Structure 1
Amino acid sequence: MTDATAPCASARLYSQTEHDDRGNFHYEGDLYRAGEALPSLASRIERHLAQHFAESTFAIRTEKFSGGRKVIAEILDAPTDLTGRDAQNAFIVEVRDQMERFGSTRTNPLQDFWSCSFYCEVRIAQAYWSALAKRSGSRNPVDTVISLAAFKKRIKAGDQLKLIDAPAGHRLLGTTREITKVRSGDLILEGRSYLSFPRASAFACDGRLIRIAIGSEYGPDDHLLYEWIRLNAA
Structure 2
Amino acid sequence: MADSETSGAPASSHRLYSETPYDERGNFHYVGDLYQPSETLGVIAERITRHLAVHFPDAKLAVRTETFAGGRKVTAEILDMADDLSGRDAANSVIVAVRDQMERFGATDANPLQDYFAASFYAEVKIGGAYWAALAARRGPRNPVEAKLSLAAFRKRLRVGDAMRLVDAPAGHRALGTTRTVTAVRSKDLIFEGRSYLDFPRASAFACDGRLVRIAIGRDHDPDAHLLYEWLPQTG
Fold in common (TM above 0.5): yes
The one of 110, 126, 132 equivalent to 1:107 is 110
Give, in whole Å, the separation in 2 of the partners of 1:76 and 1:172. Answer: 31
Q: Gapped runs of 5+ residues in structure 2?
A: 1-12, 145-151, 155-168, 174-196, 204-215, 227-236
The one of 42, 46, 52 equivalent to 1:43 is 46
| Superposition deviation, residue 172 in structure 1 | 4.3
- TM-score norm. by structure 1 comes to 0.60
Runs in 1 of length 4+ with deviation above 4 angstroms? Answer: 167-172
Q: How does 1:173-192 map to 2 (within 5 A)?
A: 173-174=200-201
SS of aligned partner of 1:19: coil
Partner of 2:18: 15
| Superposition deviation, residue 28 in structure 1 | 0.3
The one of 214, 225, 229 equivalent to 2:219 is 214
Count of aligned pairs between the two proteins:
157
- TM-score norm. by structure 2 comes to 0.59
Q: Please say if residues 81 and 132 of structure 1, whose CA atoms lie closer than 8 Å, have aligned partners that are also in contact.
A: yes
Q: Please say if residues 130 and 213 of structure 1, whose CA atoms lie closer than 8 Å, have aligned partners that are also in contact.
A: no
Partner of 1:64: 67
1:132 aligns with 2:132: no
Give, in whole Å, the separation in 2 of the partners of 1:215 and 1:112. Answer: 34
Amino acid at match of 1:134: A
Give, in whole Å, the separation in 2 of the partners of 1:35 and 1:171. Answer: 58
SS of aligned partner of 1:30: coil
Task: Name the Cα RMSD after superposition.
Answer: 3.0
| Superposition deviation, residue 215 in structure 1 | 3.5
Q: Please say if residues 215 and 222 of structure 1, whose CA atoms lie closer than 8 Å, have aligned partners that are also in contact.
A: no
Amino acid at match of 1:97: D
| Superposition deviation, residue 138 in structure 1 | 3.5
SS of aligned partner of 2:63: strand
SS of aligned partner of 1:11: coil
Q: Percent identity?
A: 56
Partner of 2:178: none
| Superposition deviation, residue 116 in structure 1 | 0.3
| Superposition deviation, residue 221 in structure 1 | 1.9
